[in-house]
Amino acid sequence: MKSKLLLKLLLVALVAFGASSCKDEEDTEPVIEEPENPNIAINGWIKAVMDEVYLWLAEMKTPVANTSAPEDYFESLLNRPTDRFSAIYPDYQELINSLGGVSLEAGYEFTLYRESSSNNNVIAEISYIKKNSPASSAGLRRGDIITRINGTQMNLDNYQTVLGGIDEPHSLNFIRFSESDGGFVPQAEVSLVPVQLAENPNFLDTVYTIEDKKIGYVIYHFFAPGPGSGSTEYDSQMDQIFAKLKAEGINNLIVDFRYNGGGFVSSAINLASLIAPGVTDKDVFSKTKYNNFLMQFDELKNVQTTFRNKSQNLGPVLENNRVYILTSRRTASASELIINGLRPYMDVFLIGATTTGKNVGSIPFEDEDNPENKYGMLPIVTRSFNSLDQSDYTNGFGPNVEALESSERLRPLGDTNELLLRTAIERITGVASGARIEKLDRVDVGSTLEHKVRFGNLIEDDPQIQKPIRDLIQARISEN
């Protein structure tokens, strides 16, 4: 009996224990490890780079949470409003392509104006058409006025949203000036499909012979050595252009930077070396300075960039040791670097409008250790000086003669009656053109050029400058 009783008690205990164990298992939540927020690694890379290279290192702000979107994290560090130009992009390779003039587009640039003070409508006047582009094939021209995009009339409230559609297939309604009609005439609607377009910055070059003056004219839209990594095709073309101008015996030179928002320093050096009189690779074009941390290192203490030896150089033949440069409010960075770098060597005569005012530069950064991080950064890293240590142009370079493109109907680039070119020719010859031009009163509210990645960028692409900085960053990342 006792053995049976003990057996029953043991069974009851086992059942109770089993029930208790099951209940504990049911009550215990399974442990699920949450994947780490990928922003933490990306933002850690952003901070590591900025802690080394940011020009305003002492003024860098306290960041937001490291789980924040990388765009927000990067922005939170910046010394705004002093820093107007540091930027981050979601794809490093697209950033590099864009800096070289390769992007998905239909091939036209335009300036936006308020249609009238009596309404809020916005119109877009085409500034120029790119060669071998959908816009060129569709027959669009400089001076055409776009009235609707995808059937929508732009106004002050919606134009930014409407413009967001031109990176995709879209339609345009536009009007064109007719000399015979004496006014603008509606044209047939056109449809455009953007393509991956490689824009050549060497837009136009020609020679005008007016009385005893032989005037060379060069339009250059941005600074890039070539359309791809390692290419120097565009720089070589510029050398050929100057060789041709030299062979034709020009004695005056006009360089058109009105639409040039910047680009690579190497191409600025190349062009400046074709213009400055009698310079060699012993003459200083520019000097580069960094934040106090980087300036501690011997290889970055006294960075000086010299001109290049160029057989195509035109400087000695230019009358009055002067070059004429056409400018606008969108003339920036590498264009201004040339203006500043040439001034110690010659008279740089500006015609147009006050330039943007950017004396600082960037280096493109990518995260080489994290393949999941596609971001590219362009933080401000450098400040540029000329050979006389002059760098004070944050408010832009004012023109010697003001000429605002918005004040007249646009004529073809290269037409001697076109406002900025006409003004330069009048200065060179001392003779007024006599052209009777209707003056316009328009308010410029923006341009597609300002939305280009290259706009406002001065890109330091000298490996001797980039390498020590990148090595320091890699050391910092490895420590962390």
Q: Report the pLDDT value the prediction gives residue 13, as an integer from 0 to 100.
A: 45
Could you give the percent of the chain with pLDDT greater than 70?
92
Give pLDDT tens digits for 19-63.
444 445 555 566 555 678 999 999 999 999 999 999 999 999 999
Domain boundaries, the chain: 38-100, 106-195, 199-363+378-441+449-476
Cα(27)–Cα(21) distance, integer angstroms: 10
Alpha-carbon gap, residue 205 to 457, rounded angstroms: 24
What stretch of H or E contains 134?
helix 134-137
Q: Which of 332, 370, 460, 288 is closest to 92 using CA atoms?
A: 370
In angstroms, rounded to a whole number, what is the distance separating the alpha carbons of residues 149 and 160? 12
The answer for residues whose C-beta is within 8 angstroms of residue 119's C-beta and 6 or more apart is 155
pLDDT confidence bin for 5, thresholds 50/70/90: very low
Per CATH, is 199-363+378-441+449-476 categorized as 1.10.287.70? no
Beta bridge partners of 365: 377
In this structure, which topology does domain 106-195 adopt according to CATH? Pdz3 Domain (2.30.42)
Residue 432 CA from chain centroid, whole number = 36
CB-based burial of residue 374 (10 Å sphere; 0-12 exposed, 13-18 middle, 19+ buried)?
Answer: middle
Contact status, residue 413 vs residue 204, Cβ threshold 8 Å = yes
Q: What is the DSSP string of 192-238?
A: E--EEEE--SEEEEEEEEETTEEEEEEEE--B-S-SSTT--HHHHHH
407 secondary structure, DSSP code: G
DSSP-derived pairing of the beta strands 444-447 and 108-114: antiparallel
- 70-124, pLDDT tens digit by residue? 999 999 999 999 999 999 999 999 999 999 999 999 999 999 999 888 889 999 9
Residue 439 in 3-state DSSP? strand
Which tokens sit at 256?
């058109």
Percent of the chain with pLDDT over 90: 81
